[in-house]
Structure formats: structure tokens, C-alpha cells
Chain A
Amino acid sequence: MAPDTAPDTAAQALPEVDMFTMVVLRRRFEAVIREMVNALFRSGRSGVLNTAMDFSCSLTDSRLQAISTALGLPMHVGAIEFIPRAVMEKYPDDLKPGDCFVNNSGYHGNTHCGDFTLCAPVFHEGELVFFSIARAHLGDMGFPTPTTYAPLARDVYEEGLMLPCVRIQRDWKDVTEVLDICKANIRAPEQFFGDYLATLAAVRTGERRVQEICDKYGARTVTLFLEQYQHYAERMATDAIRRLPKGRVVKEARYDSETPLFPDGIPVRATMDVDPVAGRITIDLRDNIDNLPMGINMTEATVTACCRMAVLNVLGPDVPRSTGAYRRIDILMRDGSAIGRPIHPAATSAATTNLAQVLTPHIQSMFAELSAGMGTAYSTIGVQGSCPCVSGTDSRHAQRPYANQILMGYWGGPGVHGHDGWLTYGGGGAQGVLWQSSVEIVEQQQPMIVERLEIGVDSGGAGQWEGAPGAHCVFRVRDDAVRFTANTAGRDFPPPGAAGGMQGGASMVWKIDRDGQRTLLPITLDVTLAPGERLESQACGGGGYGPPLHREPEAVAHRVREGWGSPAQAERIYGVLLTADHRVDHAATAARRSHAPADRIQR
């Protein structure tokens, strides 16, 4: 499936670009991507763009090799070359300067239909040299309900507008018919058009800047640089894999089921082979279930991005996230599988979040079985009740309509060897990149009061290194009804621990009526609350890493003093006994721990 045909070794009969030019060109390409990001951020109109930063910018060369960048969401950039691949497959003899294509189709290499991706071929002296790409998660894509995630959609026809790699600009001018279709289908068409212009500005900035680099250094030198850079990335990945132990890990995890087809949970399976001699890692996903009549089916792009990013997370931050490194990772997937390539008309609108948020840490956790101290536990799963899409009208502003996703507590990072979970992690697709909404901004933009936003006590998975907690969040509706939708998960199957660590706390969402009566809501929720009613969400926490009995007693006591965990849990799970002022009672702790085998302790 790999789009490039380059050989695996660095031995090539090409002239070399010297190391000095390599250093300069690498910085130049990083600057181009930074400038694309800046162009998009500065002019985006919707909150997901200019507040949450839910967008990414990328470049590939004409051989569809992605160029490394430290910016952007892992889920967005992990398989970005599928976008220009779709352009090449669909328009092999019809690419011209000034073209730009739009793609939000999971059947054409896109992530999910909420991600609106623009791609322009870049020409230099008449030759196709690059593709400039920007991907933005829009606030609306014309779904029947105001959301861009629909886990219960039975097929694509219950999701939003499809843009299957179609030309949106010709000769640097809009193809107005396509924009008219978008505006006719998408809620808040003005906001959409502003976001389109912002995304286009990023693509055109990238186009202009790489042309300038080609003018200065010559397209041939630039091409050679990129080849060498991919070889460098490949050497870095190979070197990292060679230091791993050889082995095979087969593992299954479960995901909360909302379908009678899987009453005991939906299985997520993978087989991983690490071959340090060959410097390759193979992830085999073909043993997974068939497409579901649900929107949580993954896409080729999200499966690929999850696998690459999970492996590279373990290999470390120094390995460039570019095609050369990806060549060392073989991903085997099946057509028609929920964790594979979907077969039309399977719905895929929740492809970036729900099963994807299991798959990435699932692969990472397999490394923990390969070798002590490697890999991670699982991170938060689903889009929690603290991160709902909200819609309605606002009587404070002459019934102004609104439809936004708010990110209040997108947390639950996984425990890793040596480090407790990163709090504002938000799952493997985001890895902490997304910005959290401000309480005051949320209340200014929507007619609601946020009554609470704090960490859930004891919600982080216990372990030698703890998972990060989930958010405990309460919204109260003011004078206008508010519709909340969210695609949560992690209730029946909270994020598991790894290497003896324990699972994080479960995800719960309740409606609280005006009399204080609490009603548990389903994991996929769509509820309209009347004035005075509340939505309460306890998000799942990340899983812990390593046996809780191995956690430093001082670290346990510190978190009790800081109110993250209870003294009861410190004793029961960590075997740490505290004095009245929450200092470690070392003698009692030693005695308690010597009588409690790590593998016996249960939550």
C-alpha cells in the first residue's frame, strides 16, 4: 500500500546534497509549515480552528513523501499522503497550476468527514514538485444532527455532506458551484466560508513558499534534499527498532458496544511483530471484525495514522514523523473491517475518535508486553460529556444561533514508564495538541453556566505511574434550551492499564433535572436540556503503568495531600499508610506492602 517506490536502503547512485544545505533546507521547510499554520490560525472564524487549534498543515513531494513537522495533530498528519494520492488517482492527466481539491471522504484517503482537507499541486517551471495540504476540523458538515461525529449513523447517508476529492479551485479561482453546494448543506454557511478561506490561505501560502525555495536552490537540489531526508528518517527509525527485543505480541481490547451484534463489547485486535535484525515492525489488523452499521468504523487514513504514531511514540521523539520512518512499519489491514478499510456505504464519521482512541494506545501497550519499561497504558476514549457539541439559540443576543464543540476537560493521558499521564492529553489522535476552552469564553458564547470543572478524584488509573484523571464537569442551562451531543465511551471498558497498572475510572454522563433527580445518559448522547437543568460528566481517566505497589510512597502521599486521590485508595490499592496529616507512615507501609502481592490487588 505504501505509495512510494523508493528502495529501503540509503545506498543510491544520486549526487549528494551536502550537510550544510541539508541543515538549511530542513529549517526552510519547517518555516513554510509554520507560516501555513499561522495563516490558518489568524483567519479561521470558528472556535475549533482559532481556539482549539484543531487543524494541521502538511507538504508532500510529488512522490507523495510526507515532510516532517513537529506541528499538527498526530491523527491529522499521520497518513497525510493519502490526500495527494487521491488527487493523482482521480486526475492523473488533469493537474494544472492553480488547481485545488477538497476532500472529506474516508473512501478517498481522508480521516473522517468532519475534517475538511484542501490540497493543491505545486508546480515549478512546469513540473509538478509538491502538494500543499491543509486539514481543518469544521464545526459543522451538514449532518442531520448538529455534530460532526455520529456513532449511531447506520451508513454514510446518515452522515454529512461528502466531498470526494473534487476540484474547488481552478486557475486560483473558486469553482463556485462546489462552494454553493457546501453553503447549501452546512449550518452557519458564513462561518464555513470564512474557514474555507482560512484553510485555502494556508495551502496557497505553502505553495508560494516552496516555489520560492525551488527558485533559490533549484528544484533538483530540493528534490535530492528530500530524498536524503527520507533516508535519514529511515535510518533513525531503523536504528531505534534495532534496539528493541525481537518478539510477537497478540492482544485484544474491548470497546463499549452499542450494538446487539456485540453484547460483550466490541473487540479491537492486533498482532505485532518486532524484527530488530531487519529493523521492521509489522502490525497485523486483519483479524478484526467486519464493518459495523455504525459511525465508529475507522478509515484507511485513521488506521494508518494510529499505527504509525503509536509505533513512533514508542521509538521516541527524535525519529522524524515522515515517510522514510513510515517505511519501517508494515500495516496489514482488511477491506470491509471496522478496523481496516471500510466498504461503502459504511459510516465513518467517528473514525478519528472512538475506536481510534483504543487502537493507538492498544498498540503502544503491546510494547509493554514485549519489554519491561516500554510502551504506555491506554488514554481517554471517546469524546467525553465535558467536550460536547452544543447548539441552540441565545436570547442574550437576539436569538443568535450557535453550533460549537467545546473542549472542557479533554484529558486522561496514559501512564508511561517514568511519568504519570499528561493531564490535557485528549487521546492518541491529539496527544495534548488541542487547546482547552476557557470557562468564560464558553459562557460568553453559549447561554450556559459551567458550575464545575475539576479533576475527578481517584479517576486516574492506579499504577507505578498513574494515568491522568478525567474531568468532572457540570453545565447548567440558563434561559434558553441547549442541545448537547457527545460520543463518549469508556464506561463498560474504561482505558486499561499496562504492565500491571490499573484501568482509569469509567466515563459517566447524567442529566440532572430541576429537582436534582439524576438520570444516567447513554454513551452516545443527544439531549436537549431546559432552563435550570444540568449535564454532569465524569470523564474516564487514563490507565496506569506498572504495579501500584511499586509507586513511590511519597508520590502517593503527595497526591492525597493535593486531593487527587483518597487516603482509602492509598491504602487499599497502593499499600501506603498515611499519618493524620497525610505523611507517609513508612513502617506501616513497608509492613502492608510486604503482605500484598502486586498481582492480587483489585480495584
Chain B
Amino acid sequence: MSIEIAVDVGGTFTDFVVRAGGIAAYKSSTTPLDIADGIFNGLALIARRRGTTTAELLAATSSFACGTTVATNAILEHKAARTGLLITEGFRDTLLIREGGKADTYNIYMDYPEPYIPRSLTIGVRERINAEGGIETPLDEAGARRAIAELKSLGVEAVAVSLLWSIANPAHELRLAELLTEEWPEIPFSLGHQVNPALREYRRTSAVAIDASLKPVVQRRLAEIETRLRANGFQGVLTFVTSNGGRTSAEEVLAKPVYLCLSGPSAAPHAGSVIARTEGIAHGNVITIDMGGTSFDVSITTGWDTPTHREGVIGGHMFGVPAVDVRTIGAGGGSIARVDAGGFAHVGPASAGAYPGPACYGRGGTLPTVTDANLALGLIEPAGFADGQITLSRAAAETAITTHVATPLGIALSEAASLMTLSVEQNMVAAIEDITIRRGVDPREYVLVSGGSAAGLHAAGIARELGIGQVIVSPLAGVLSAYGIATGDIRFNFARSLFTSSVAFDFARVTAVLAELAAEGSAYLDRMRIPAERRLLAFSVEARYAGQVWQLSLPLPRPSVANAEDLAGVVAAFHALHERVYAIRADDPVEFIEWDLIATGKLPINDAAADTQAGPDASAALIGQRRVYLKQAGGAVDIPVYDGEALRAGNVVAGPALVQERLTVTLVPPDATAQRSVNGGLIVTLERDAF
């Protein structure tokens, strides 16, 4: 039997999804000091539960897919390599200046962020290329060698190279690469035009700085994981999830470790898509949410397409390479409530985290959190929380809420707890609106896929506020990203910068570039052992009207632009795209900046172990009644509690009710019904007049 294992190493928990005929989810604690330990602890747990050993399990495993916070944490915790930066003379402050803008305009009591690479490790090199790729100042090779020697003496462990207009003419960056190799053969380095061939020096420089700084640490960590897996008998394919949400081998990741940014959360949108598809959603419009202890992630998929963007940011640093557009805010079970001097309640972004955690954890926390509110409302049970790992204190939760929310506002405890849950849901709605407004889409045309152990109590409330009629809670909702990793396609991006315009189109060079990209992509898919029928090469080009400063990603209608007819098709497609995004089209020439390829190996998915219809009667799954406080139902009410694992396909649960599962609990509000589908999902339907 062939086993496939997917693992998502998160900050607190390491989640596993194991497919071996059926599909199963597991959780173990993350070991921050040695990620490989956490993975192997989990594998031991899985082996134990399956009645086997780690070695036997791994020997039978054909695919091991890994999402890892190695890169994200190295950036956030300043644990990446000491990295030097060679940059065009006169522009040492590129990483300091960034692009301006300030998220919190009205707070003047803030420290300006430090640059990703300090100025003392940034050395200007005399050279200059102009906007057309012409050489204004030749590269000062003697100066460059001196700069390399200086970086050596400064003890850097990696070097980033970023020159102005290297995208128009990479000659100087390439020559610096040769000089680096000559002067310092063992130093890992990255070149701006290769890592992120995009216009705007900050974005390119930031991406290449992050990339170079990750090389040593990613190399070490990935080698550790691979070595231990191999030593324990694993002979299958090892892949890592990248920022684009797809999976790829260690080879690509080691060459461009910046692609490991957001590895893990980047797989959640795909999980949302797979879940919606499995449940028979035809339109492919999906909003996927994932609510954990401290943060809330949201992404949007339209017509099965999850948009990527190139403005992904970690710790204030833009990493530039294509990433699925996941918006994260500080809202989760640990988010803390407070009342301000004017009498308004706020929840988050401050979080009690796992330690001390919510007041109800009894670990010394005294401030009221969202988990405390849900406990006080009766929506979660004191026993059995987090797969039975923690027993909660309702008295501690109530004291915290009374002291910090109810008393200051002069309202009852239950009202205060309701206000807290409403406030956190409104924050989540705002995060979803932020992404839908920016993408110009109407959330009412979407289904909501709920993920994370804490989301089931809030998903229906969020959906109602957004006018969404349907919420899907998958049995794998508790391990959403791991499920996305398990079902993720093999995918990697390839890019070349080449400027040309529709009025003087360089057919020869474009044809050459597209052929190079196709060869690169095919070689990659060969390496990943993808059969021909599951291959997809999707070409696109970054294009704009002449004079514009922002590009659009235009999918190429055909994989070549060899003649005037092909070009006319591309230009027509650009006009249509521009009109769709900006509501206007222009007569200006179209300029093309960068040519891109996404090489994909589609993964066949048939996880639907379809159950047989058992009819609407859910009474066999009823396990009791619970007194809860539901604002919408007019206050304290007794509502039925169902055992989610005992619900059969077709069973209908009328709201208000709770559906309790091992890792999640779902609230079915008064104006909604929930039905177990034949594919295993719980489908919550809100009545339309409830909006």
C-alpha cells in the first residue's frame, strides 16, 4: 500500500494528514528548536495509532509533503544569515526607505523599522545601467573586488546583489556573480534579476536580500529533515510547499529559498477549493478562513482560481515572489478584549497566545479572550478542549469578562460575552471585506469554507454579515493547511525579464525567452516525475499601457507570440483584462515587462469516500442539551448538541444547535440548518431573509 503524508509545521501544533486508502488527521506539538524532532514525534504518534513503527510507516510512504515555517520564522525572529548587500553606488538606503506609506497614520509614537540588511553590511558598487538597458557607467571591477573583500572581513555568510535596472540589462549583476565566484567560491549569493525580475528597486532588492539570507538556514534545515527521513527508510518523493501554494522538490527551494515564505498557510486556499469542489460547489467561488489561537487568515478563490500577488510581506519586509493572496489579522481564540475610555469594546489584535493564554486556561492569564467569551456563553465545554489536552475554568473566564468588560460597560456578563464575540467577528468580516473590495468581488456570490478549531463558532455569524448563504465545515477543518498540502499540485514559477512594446514587438527575443521558459518548465516536471497528461504550462506576461506604472498579469492566450496575429490576440486580451480590472480601456500601446511560466503537475484527487444517504433524521447523533446564551435567540436557551462523528449523510440539524467533533465545534444559529453531506462535510445553510 502506498501512503502519502502531508505535514504542516505551525507555531504551536504540527498537523498531519495521512492518506492510505482513507484519510486521517493528527496533531502533535511543535518543537521550535528542532523542527525535525517535532515531525518525528508526530510520525511516532501516527505509527503508534496505526499499530506500526516509524520505519515501517516511512518505508511504505511514497510521498512526504512539508509545509514549514523555517523561512517565515527566520525572517520574523532575525535568525537568517548575516548577509551582505552589493548595490548600485548612491543607493545604500534602498532597504531603509522601502516605498513609504504608513499603516497607522494617526500613531506618531512608533519606531521606524530597521532595514532587512543593515547599512553597515551594504556596500555601493560603482556602475550604472539606464532605463533602456544602456550602460551609463561601466562596472568598476577593482572596486567590486574590494567590496567583496570588505564583506569577507565583515564576516557575512551570504551575499545579495541588487543593481538598478538589472532587469533591463543583467550584465553587471552577472559579472558580479563571476567575481564573487572567483574571489569567494564558497559564499552563497543571489542576484536580483534572477530572484524577482520586477520593476521597482525596493521590491527586487528586498526579495533578493531575503533569498540570500535564507540560503544557509534553509539548506541546513531541509538537509536535516531529508537526512532523517532517508535514514528511517523513506524512499519516496519529498516536497515542500511554497508561497504560491504548490509543492516542489528541495532542489528548487534550495536554489530560491525565498519561495518558502508563508509555506504552510499558503496551502489553505487550495484546501478550501478542494473541499468546496468535493462538496459539489459548481461556481468555484470560495472564501477560505482559518482561525487559530492568535491569527485569522482569509483568502479568496474565484472560479477555482486563487489569485497570487507579488506584494507579500513578512515582518514588514516585502518578499516579492508570487504568493497566494492570504490576508492575516490578529484575531483568534486568544484575542484580548478591552473597553476604552469612551465606552467602546475592542477585541484584539493583542493576544494572550498559548501562554498565559485565555483566563480559562488557568495558566495565570487574567484578561478576557474570545475563548473565555465562548466558554461563558456555554458554546464550548470545559472538558475536552483541544482534543482533551486542557480543562477549562468557566469561573475564571467569567471573572475576567466581568472585571474587564461587563462592569466597565454596566452590562450583564452574558451580554458582555456576546459583545466580545460580535466584535471579533466584525474584525474578521473587515478582513474579508478588505480582500473582496480590493479584488472587486461581491462576497454574496461565494461559499465560506471554515477552517481552524475555533472558526466553527463564528463562521455562520461572519457569513450572515457578508450575505453569504452557505458555510462548509470539513471533517479536516482542524488541519486545513495540512489538507491543502496533501492535495496540493506540484508547481513552480519561472520568469525572465524582457522589455518590449506592441508598437515595436521583438518577436525573435520573445520567442527565444518563451522557448527557454518552456524547456525549463518541462525539465522541472520531468524531474518531478509528472506524466504528460497531468502537465500544465501556463504562460503569462506582466503588461501595462505605455506610461502606466503598475502592471497587470496577463495570461497568454497561446504559448507563443511568433507573428502579428498572435500579438493582436495578446493585445486584445490585455484591453479586455484592463477593462475588467479598471473599468476603462485605452488606445495606448501595450508594454511587456516580464515573461512568466507556471509549470504545474496536477494531482488527481478522489478523497470523497461517499457515504450513503441516511435521510434527514439526526436524532441518533443527539448527545444532549446545553444551556447557552445566544443573543439572536433572545438570550439563554437550551439547545441540542450533536455528535458530529455520529451524523450520517443526509442528516439535518435545525438551528439553534451545536455540532461537536473531536477537533472542532460548529454553531448552527437559529436561522440556519446544517446537513451532513455524502462527502463528509457539514453544510450550514443560512436562510436568505436572515440577512
Q: Which residue of A lies closest to B434 (CB)?
A: A34
Complexed CA–CA distance, A561 and B121 (Å)? 10
State whether A23 touches B419 (Cβ < 8 A). yes
- Which residues of A line the B interface, CB within 8 A? 19-20, 22-24, 27, 30-31, 34-35, 38, 42-43, 47, 50-51, 53, 70-72, 74, 194, 197, 201, 232-233, 235-236, 239-240, 312-313, 316-318, 321, 376, 396-397, 400, 407, 409-410, 413-414, 416-424, 426, 431-436, 438-441, 443-445, 449-455, 468, 474, 478, 561-564
Interface locus among B50-58, B243-251, B391-399, B577-585: B577-585
Which partner residue on chain B sits nearest A411 by CB separation?
B97
Chain B positions 436-491 with a Cβ under 8 Å from a chain A Cβ: 437-438, 440, 465
Q: Which of B91, B105, B201 contacts A70 (CB 8 A)?
A: B105
- For B118, the closest partner residue in chain A by CB is A562
**Chain B residues numbered 67-121 whose CB sits less than 8 Å from any CB in chain A:** 90-93, 96-102, 104-112, 118-120
Q: Is the CB of B112 within 8 A of A422?
A: yes
Nearest chain B residue, comparing its CB with the CB of A400: B547
Q: A74-B105, A419-B110 are in contact. Are A27 and B430 (CB under 8 A)?
A: yes
| Cβ–Cβ contact B120 & A563, under 8 A | yes
- Residue B229 interfacial (CB < 8 Å): no
A439:B201 contact, CB within 8 angstroms: yes
Q: Are B101 and A432 touching (Cβ within 8 A)?
A: yes
| Assembled-state Cα–Cα distance A316/B107 (Å) | 7
Q: Which residues of A contact B109 (CB under 8 A)?
A: 316-317, 416-419
Count of inter-chain pairs, beta carbons less than 8 A: 186
Query: Which residues from A are CB-within-8-Å of B546?
Result: 397
CA distance A562 to B93 in the complex (A): 11
A418 CB → nearest B CB, Å: 6
Residue in B342, B409, B465 whose CB lies within 8 Å of A239? B342
- The secondary structure that dominates the A interface is mixed
Residues 419-437 of B, flagged 1 when their CB comes within 8 A of A and 0 if not, give 1001100110110011001
Residues of B contacting A432 in the complex (Cβ-Cβ under 8 angstroms): 100-102, 105
Q: How far is the CA of A271 from the CA of B438 in the complex (A)?
A: 45
**Residues of chain A within 8 A of B418, CB atoms compared:** 20
CB of B283 within 8 Å of the partner chain: no
29 contacts between A and B (CB under 8 A): A20-B418, A27-B427, A31-B433, A38-B440, A42-B440, A42-B582, A50-B550, A194-B584, A235-B341, A235-B343, A312-B106, A317-B109, A318-B341, A376-B108, A410-B100, A416-B109, A418-B109, A422-B102, A423-B97, A432-B101, A433-B105, A435-B100, A436-B100, A438-B199, A438-B200, A445-B547, A450-B90, A453-B90, A563-B92
Q: CB within 8 A of B97: which of A42, A50, A418, A453?
A: A453
Task: From the candidates A34, A317, A443, name the one contacting B107 in the complex (CB within 8 A).
Answer: A317
Contact A236 B341 (CB under 8 A): yes
For A231, give the chain B residue with the smallest CB separation.
B342
Q: Do residues B112 and A413 form an inter-chain contact, with CB atoms below 8 A?
A: yes
Contacts A23-B422, A34-B437, A434-B101 given; indicate if A233 touches B342 (C-beta within 8 A): yes
Q: How far is the CA of A434 from the CA of B97 in the complex (A)?
A: 12
Q: Judge whether B108 and A416 touch: CB under 8 Å.
A: yes
Range, interface on chain B: 35 or more
**Additional pairs, 11, CB under 8 Å, beyond known A34-B437, A74-B105, A431-B106:** A23-B345, A24-B422, A70-B106, A407-B100, A431-B102, A431-B108, A440-B164, A443-B131, A452-B90, A455-B96, A563-B120
CB distance from B76 to the nearest CB of A (A): 21
Known A422-B110, A563-B119; contact A441-B549, beta-carbon cutoff 8 A: yes
Q: Is the CB of B120 within 8 A of A436?
A: no
Report the Cα distance A232→B128, complex, angstroms: 56
| In the complex with contacts A34-B437, A421-B112, A444-B131, A236-B106 CB distance below 8 A | no
B202 at the interface (CB under 8 A from A): yes
Q: How far is the CB of B209 from chain A (nearest CB, A)?
A: 16
Q: Which residue of A lies closest to B438 (CB)?
A: A38
Q: Identify B100's interface contact among A233, A317, A434, CB under 8 A.
A: A434
B136 interface hit (Cβ, 8 Å): yes
- Contact in complex: A30, B136 (CB < 8 Å): no
Chain B residue with the shortest CB-CB distance to A205: B437
- B662, CB-defined interface residue at 8 Å: no
Q: Whose C-beta in chain B lies nearest to the C-beta of A21?
A: B422
B130 within 8 Å of A (CB atoms): yes
Cβ 8 A contact of B112, one of A20, A71, A240, A420: A420
Q: Which 5 A-B pairs have the closest CB atoms?
A: A432-B102, A452-B90, A436-B100, A317-B107, A239-B341
Cα-based distance from A318 to B546 in the complex (angstroms): 43
- Decide if B631 is an interface residue (CB 8 Å cutoff): yes
Q: Is the CB of B108 within 8 A of A235?
A: no
Structural contact, B201 and A436, CB atoms closer than 8 A: no
Please tell me which one of the listed residues A27, A232, A424 contacts residue B102 in the complex, with CB atoms under 8 A apart.
A424
Of B93, B99, B426, the residue contacting A454 (CB under 8 A) is B93
B132 at the interface (CB under 8 A from A): yes
Residues of B contacting A51 in the complex (Cβ-Cβ under 8 angstroms): 549
Q: Is B592 an interface residue (CB 8 A)?
A: no
A161 CA / B178 CA spacing, docked (Å)? 58
Write the chain B residue with the least CB distance to A42. Answer: B582
Task: Give the docked Cα–Cα distance between A240 and B136 (Å).
Answer: 57
Residues of A within 8 A of B91 (CB): 439, 452-454
Q: Contact: B111 with A420, CB < 8 Å?
A: yes
A320 to B, closest residue via Cβ? B342
Nearest CB of A to B168, in Å: 9
Kindly list chain A residues whose C-beta atoms are within 8 Å of the C-beta of B105: 70-72, 74, 431-433
Which residues of the partner chain A approach B110 to less than 8 Å between Cβ atoms?
419, 422
Chain A residues lying within 8 Å of B93, measured Cβ to Cβ, are 453-455
Chain A neighbourhood of B422, CB < 8 A: 20, 23-24
Chain A nearest CB, measured from B77 CB (Å): 20
Q: Which residues of A contact B426 (CB under 8 A)?
A: 23-24, 27
Contacts of B344 in A (CB 8 A): 22, 232
Residue B387 lies at the interface, judged by CB distance under 8 Å to chain A: no
List, in ascending order, chain A residues with CB within 8 A of B104's CB: 70, 317
In the complex, which of the residues B108, B427, B430, B581 contacts A42, with contact meaning CB atoms closer than 8 Å? B581
Contacts of A74 in B (CB 8 A): 105-106
Q: Which of A42, A435, A443, A562 contacts B101 (CB 8 A)?
A: A435
Give the shortest distance, in Å, between B441 (CB) and chain A (any CB): 12
State the Cβ distance, B463 to closest chain A Cβ, in Å.
15
Chain A residues near B583 (CB, 8 Å)? 42-43, 201
Residues of A with C-beta under 8 A to B112: 413, 420-424, 468
CA distance A209 to B229 in the complex (A): 56
Within 8 Å by CB of B465, from A24, A201, A474, A561, lies A24
The answer to whether B106 touches A423 (Cβ under 8 A) is no
B108 near A20 with CB under 8 A, answer: no
Residue B340 at the chain A interface, CB threshold 8 Å: yes
Interface contact A321-B201, CB-CB below 8 Å: no
Query: Residue B319 at the A interface, CB < 8 A?
Result: no
Q: A451 contacts B100, CB within 8 Å?
A: no
User: Interface digits, B129-160 against A, CB 8 Å rule (1 contact, 0 not)?
Assistant: 01110001000000000000000000000000
B165 lies within 8 A of chain A by Cβ: yes
**Which residue of A is nearest B107, CB measured?**
A317
Q: Give the complex CA separation of A434 and B418 in angstroms.
A: 39
* Shortest distance between the CB of A18 and any CB in chain B (Å): 9
Bound form: Cα–Cα A439–B430 in Å? 34
CB distance from B412 to the nearest CB of A (A): 12
Given the complex of chains A and B, what is the CA–CA distance between A105 and B389 in angstroms?
Answer: 66
List the B side residues contacting A240 at CB < 8 Å: 341
B119 near A440 with CB under 8 A, answer: no
Most B-side CB within 10 Å, residue of A321, A468, A563: A563
Which residues of chain A have C-beta atoms less than 8 A from B97's C-beta?
A: 409, 423-424, 436, 453
In the complex, A177 Cα to B119 Cα: how many Å?
55
Q: Are A438 and B631 in contact (CB under 8 A)?
A: no
B506-526 residues at the A interface, CB under 8 angstroms: none
Residues in B whose Cβ lies below 8 Å from that of A71: 105
What is the minimal beta-carbon distance from B115 to any residue of chain A, in angstroms? 9
Q: Is the CB of B101 within 8 A of A433?
A: yes
Report Cα–Cα, A440/B165, bound state, in Å.
7
Q: A residues within 8 A CB of B440? A: 38, 42
